[in-house]
Amino acid sequence: MDAVWKYLPKMLEGAMVTVEITAISVLIGLIFAIPMALLRVSRNPLLWGPAYGFILYFRGTPLLVQIFLIYYGSGQFRVELEALGLWAFFREAWFCAVLSLTLNTTAYTAEILRGSIRSVPHGEVEAARSCGMMGWLLYRRIILPKAFRLALPAYSNEVVFLFQATSLVSIISLMDLTGVARVAAARSFAIYEIYIAAGAIYLIVTYGILYIFKKVEFRLSGHLRERVDNDLPVTTVLR
Amino acid sequence: MRRLISVLAAVLAVTFMTGAAQAGQKVKIGTEGAYPPFNSIDKDGKLVGFDIDIANALCDAAGFECEFVVQDWDGIIPGLLAKKYDAIIASMSITDERKEKVDFTNKYYNTPGKFFARKGSGLEVTPEGLKGKTIAVQRATTHENFLTDNYGSIVTVKSYATQDEAYLDIVSGRADAGIADSVAVMDGFLNTDQGKDFQFFGPDFTDPKWFGEGAGIAIRKGEGDLVNAFNAAIAKIRADGTYAKINAKYFDFDVYGK
């Protein structure tokens, strides 16, 4: 137990790195995933082709391979990257980690959104069309809001998976929660204690994420819940 | 009843037989396989290196039937404690920290730790010379502890799962320098094509507080017979010239140390 108390401050610092990497990747990933999903549902092969290839690669290969490829792979092209002025970014393990995780979650999120765009009831689209909505307006007002609500449960899973997958970044020398735990376990030999503590921190954050999603889902599904009449005075209810 | 007695007899016999290390005993040896020239995996997927040759010689000398198990470095002591293997022969330094968890045989070699960096980098092993630099080191090694304890406040310590990954980042320039066992760096990096523009700097580090008495064989606590058997085997191969032969195959100087 002493080992846990000794390393706890460092582990919490590591947990901050983990949360930070997850938050940034999820945010950028979501922003990229929306156009990616729209390209993916397009009927034009020039539009859906590249999106399909991107999603195929990032869903079809292990995240660990993607991280190695971006981190150690970019090291091999230092001269070229320096010429482009990009080496300053690729030099940092932090940047490489966020880049790999962002690309990975973009692919998965785009696929989730594609599915939910496809499952927006046809009648609603038809009704919008008959009111004269077309193209971007139709997407912005009808399809995307509905698709986001449909995607939410699956998307909350993706965020939790990504959060847990960040444990892989310790392999490229980043001191995230797992990275700190590995150093602490190796130095103190308190293997069980350290990893159980690390696991507990992951668990708490995971349930924090799920709680936030639950709240968001509750808010977005107001129109589906039974109406409660709030105007009745309390006394009436009691009687 | 007779059957019960024979079962009991068999159980007792097995109990006593496993009590002492003896000839023909099967011993599983844990090693890392990513620390050339001491232990690495060649292009055919076979374990090779100084540690492996020494391990085979020791097993011959002790009459053990040995089998190798490859295990990542930062899980190598937990793996021993979890009985995935019975001994670690993987250039593990004998340190007080590790002695709290495992027993060690006598050393079978001892070489100093040393810093290395790109030629012409002008780095010096002083608080000013290293200030603000990023130093690559393998996780869970004596070198990592030495670096963190002595220079942790002035340098950025970058820890890698294997020494090979540390070399990759030193070549790509993500780390300014590295610290590791001098012989491992010499043969595994400086004498290779990718390491030809790099060199050692600073003194040899041998302080037993961090680097221990040298590399020994780690064995679970309470298995003194196995420790004794390996110690006898080390003495035997030192005396009969087997050690010198293996030493000469890899190095042109004596790695056993003083």
**Joined tokens for residue A188:** 């103190």
B171 chain-A contacts, CB cut-off 8 A: 75
Using 50, 70 and 90 to split pLDDT, how confident is the model at B18? very low
Ramachandran sector of residue B212 (left: φ over 0; alpha: ψ -120 to 50; beta: rest): left
Å between B216 CA and nearest CA of chain A: 18
For an interface test with B, which of A189, A192, A195 has the most B Cβ atoms less than 10 Å from its Cβ?
A189
Task: Please give the DSSP secondary-structure letter assigned to residue B241.
Answer: S
Nearest to A108 by CA among A68, A157, A147, A72: A157
Q: Taking CA atoms, what residue in B is nearest to A77?
A: B172
Chain A residues with CB-CB distance to B under 8 A? 72, 74-76, 78, 91, 93, 171, 173, 179, 182-183, 185-187, 189, 191
Both tokens of residue B161?
């799962």
β-bridge pairing B198-205 and B65-70: unpaired
CA-based torsion, A19, A23, A29, A30: positive or negative: positive
**B74, B98, B168 ranked by CB distance to A75: nearest:** B168
Cβ contacts of A78 on chain B, cutoff 8 Å = 172-173
pLDDT for the residue A2 = 84
Which tokens hold the place of B47? 């374990």
Task: Single out the residue of B23, B229, B61 nearest to residue B53, CA to CA.
Answer: B61
| Placement of tokens 């980042």 in the chain | B169
Tokens matching residue B152: 């942790």
Q: What average pLDDT score do residues B43-58 get?
A: 95
Burial class (CB in 10 A: 0-12, 13-18, 19+), B243: buried
Task: State the burial class of residue B1 (Cβ atoms within 10 Å of its Cβ: 0-12, 13-18, 19+).
Answer: exposed
Q: Which residues in chain A show pLDDT less than 50?
A: 237, 239
Q: Do the domains B113-211 and B22-110+213-250 match in fold?
A: yes
Of B78, B159, B172, the CB nearest to A173: B159
Half-sphere exposure of A100 (CA within 13 A, CB side): 26
Mark yes or no for CB contact B161/A171 under 8 Å. Answer: yes
pLDDT given at position B201: 94
Interacting residues of B31 by C-beta distance below 8 A, sequence separation 6+: B39, B47, B51, B52, B55, B68, B69, B70, B71, B88, B89, B90
Whole-number Å distance between alpha carbons of B155 and B133: 5
> Count of A–B CB contacts within 8 Å?
48
Q: Name the residue among A75, A186, A187 with its Cβ closest to that of B172.
A: A75
The answer to whether the CB atoms of B140 and A186 lie below 8 A apart is yes
Which of B88, B162, B164, B146 has the alpha carbon at shortest distance from A187?
A: B146
Cα distances from A193 to residues A95, A100, A179, A187, B178, in angstroms, run: 31, 31, 15, 13, 31
Q: What is the pLDDT of residues B95-107, one digit of tens each?
A: 988 999 999 999 9
Question: B74 and A186 in contact by Cβ < 8 A?
Answer: yes
A182/B159 Cα distance (integer angstroms): 10
To the nearest whole angstrom, how far is the Cα of B144 from the nearest Cα of chain A? 10
Q: Which of B145, B160, B173 is nearest residue A187 as measured by Cβ atoms?
A: B145
Q: What is the mean pLDDT of residues B168-197?
A: 93
Q: Is B97 helix (H, G, I), strand (E, B) or coil?
A: helix
User: Domain boundaries in chain B?
Assistant: 22-110+213-250, 113-211
CA gap B114, B14 in Å, rounded: 48
For the sheet with B26-31, list strands across it. B65-70, B26-31, B87-93, B215-220, B102-104
Look at the domain B22-110+213-250 and name its fold. D-Maltodextrin-Binding Protein; domain 2 (3.40.190)
In angstroms, the first-to-last Cα distance of chain A is 56
Instruction: Determine the distance in angstroms separating the CA of A186 from the nearest CA of chain B, rounded to an integer.
Output: 5
Decide if pLDDT at B23 tops 90: no
Listing DSSP states for A136-201 in one string gives HHHIIIIIHHHHHHHHHHHHHHHHHHHHHHGGGGGGGT--SHHHHHHHHHHHH--HHHHHHHHHHH
pLDDT tops 70 at residue B7? no
The answer on pLDDT for B252 being more than 90 is no
B118, B169 contact by CB (below 8 A) = no
Residue B203: φ, ψ to 5°: -80, 170
Judge whether B226 and B21 are in contact, CB under 8 Å.
Answer: yes
Average pLDDT over chain B, rounded to whole? 90
Task: Kindly indicate whether the domain formed by A2-238 is annotated with CATH number 1.10.3720.10.
Answer: yes
Q: What is the CATH number of domain B113-211?
A: 3.40.190.10
Residue A84 burial by Cβ neighbours in a 10 Å radius (0-12, 13-18, 19+) = exposed
Nearest to B101 among A76, A182, A189 (CB): A189
**Chain A CB contacts of B168 below 8 Å:** 72, 75
Is the confidence at residue B133, as pLDDT, over 90? Answer: yes
Residue with tokens 């970044």: A169
Query: For residue range B189-236, what is the model confidence (pLDDT) as tens digits?
Result: 999 999 999 999 999 998 888 998 899 999 999 999 999 999 999 999
Domain ranges of chain A: 2-238
pLDDT tens for each residue of A156-211: 999 999 999 999 999 998 999 999 999 898 888 888 899 999 999 999 999 999 99
| pLDDT at site B19 | 44
Counting Cα atoms < 13 Å in the Cβ hemisphere of A143 gives 23
End-to-end CA distance of chain B: 61
Question: Is the pLDDT score of B187 beyond 90?
Answer: no
Residue B114 backbone phi and psi in degrees, to 5? -155, 150
B34-60: b or e for each residue (b if 16 or more CB lie within 10 Å)? bbbbbbbbeeeeebbbbbbbbbbbbbe
Predicted ipTM of the assembly: 0.76
Nearest to B173 among A78, A93, A186 (CB): A78
What mean pLDDT is predicted for residues B73-86? 93
